[in-house]
Amino acid sequence: MPWGTFLKIGEQIMSRFPQGWETFFEEEIKKDYFQQLWKTVQHEYYTTTVYPPGKDVFAVFKLVRPEDVKIVLLGQDPYHGKNQANGIAFSTASAITPRSLANMFKELKSDLDIDHPSNDLSGWVAQGVFLLNTILTVREHQPLSHQELGWETFVLNVLNFLNSNNKVILYCAFGNQAMKMYSKINGIKSENILRYGHPSPFSYDKYFKGTRPFSQINSWLEFHDLTPINWAQ
């Protein structure tokens, strides 16, 4: 099945693979699980309201080539409100800051005295911070509604692909769900994982506040002779 036909969601078509990810996607879309996943996801877009917009499902892949990924930071699933999800974990197209992102920005201010200029985190991704959700689509107002459709398998395959092709990569876990996913990666090294609590309102004060993840990530990158992230972008 041609890629444009296979990836069609309503009137939106991705006409080509994200640049640099061709090898991965060419193999992945041939797999039975992915074809069943995409059949289900297309049906969801046709019959109900699903986020992010179809053109943005793989947005994070379009912003950074696999060989340029230095850090993986997993989210859970997309924001489930209108005009929020943009295909980048934690990031949003909305001017209203979701609570978890607001808490990340609080910690960024406390850690490095940086006020991030917007809710759009594409500037981080362009520098090699791969902000990927574990589940890439969601029904409106129904968090985790696309859990166990096959996205988790897809994301684990992405992580294995990155881990096998990148010489040095940092896996940053915000919460237990990200850590569970990282534990499944083939050959992952414990020294390449930084673990923190989740920035959600339920765990921010106890497990995330004061942990200084942004400066610690940059220290890790510098130790491995990699350019630190400009978190103000």
3-state DSSP assignment of residue 15: coil
Question: Alpha-carbon distance 74 to 88, whole Å?
Answer: 10
Nearest Cα neighbor of 45 from 123, 134, 146, 143 is 146
Active site annotation includes 77: yes
Instruction: Check if the beta carbon of residue 198 is closer than 8 Å to that of residue 175.
Output: yes
Question: Alpha-carbon distance 33 to 43, whole Å?
Answer: 16
Instruction: Check if the beta carbon of residue 179 is closer than 8 Å to that of residue 173.
Output: yes
Catalytic: which of 32, 56, 68, 77?
A: 77
Catalytic residue numbers, as ranges: 77
